[in-house]
Structure 1
């Protein structure tokens, strides 16, 4: 590198139901659904969050507009660098093929078992692709977002 600092990032995914998407992807990837119950509580105490901004889900307060997941080895504190995916509620449905998608690299020996496992979580198989450079299975999550298992 030429002295540039690495950039922290998160992938943000538009969703009809961000909480269901977070649950699906946390299970698919072995990630953790973030717990912001205490943070929401502090915002309520400060008068910064209205009752309409959050709901109780699985025994904890969550923001209505979105839900995040992160790698289990990453620090849970807000603002700490993470391998994070944020699912945000939007009114419109997905309409075209993704221009950006995830590739889940599990290896040829685990590919079929992972495809079956993820299919059991609610994903659908779109195509099995055999190309000279490799084999992968194109799938769609419960909201139709494409991803590959290779």
Structure 2
């Protein structure tokens, strides 16, 4: 079995897909456009795509599943700053004085996601 997509229910699929496309650097599918009920962010193989689907109800409780991101060419703190500048919101800060920990953010529709330390930062501790 292959994990093809991770699907996120949302109010505005194109807007949320565009946010995640900017965050990840992965493109929105060429066939998708504003107003579509389903919009795909195409990840590089073998990573599953991010599929955003319009639903009528809004987010009401904490997500049961969320993304944990590890930056590849930035530090955790630089990545947190970059993503907040793109429209994410700080939710919970789990960084510790010794440099360990992670940051939980919210995307523009309130879905939680975490940013962990980069591989180079992990080697430093």
- For Structure 1 versus Structure 2, the TM-score category normalised by the shorter chain is 0.7 to 0.9
1:136 and 2:108 are equivalent in the alignment: no
Say which of 58, 62, 70 aligns to 2:42: 70
The answer for unaligned runs of 5 or more in structure 2 is 117-125
Residues in 1 aligned to 2:36 and 2:76: alpha-carbon distance in whole angstroms? 35
How do 1:1-150 and structure 2 match up within 5 A? 6-36=1-31, 57=34, 64-71=36-43, 73-74=44-45, 83-106=48-71, 110-130=75-95, 134-150=100-116
What displacement does 1:139 show? 0.2
SS at match of 2:64: coil
Normalising by structure 2, report the TM-score: 0.80
Aligned length: 113
Distance 1:19 1:130 in 2: 32
Q: Which has the larger radius of gyration?
A: 1
Q: Deviations over 1:87-107 (max 9, x none)?
A: 001110000000100001127
Q: What SS class does the counterpart of residue 135 from structure 1 fall into? A: coil
TM-score when normalising by structure 1: 0.68
SS in 2 for 1:100: coil
Task: Give 1:114 deviation, angstroms.
Answer: 0.7
**Separation (CA, whole Å) in 2 of partners of 1:127 and 1:145:** 13
CA distance in structure 1 between the aligned counterparts of 2:11 and 2:29, rounded to whole angstroms = 19
Higher strand share: 1
Structure 1 stretches of 5 or more lacking a match? 1-5, 38-55, 58-62, 75-80
The alignment yields a C-alpha RMSD, in angstroms, of 2.2
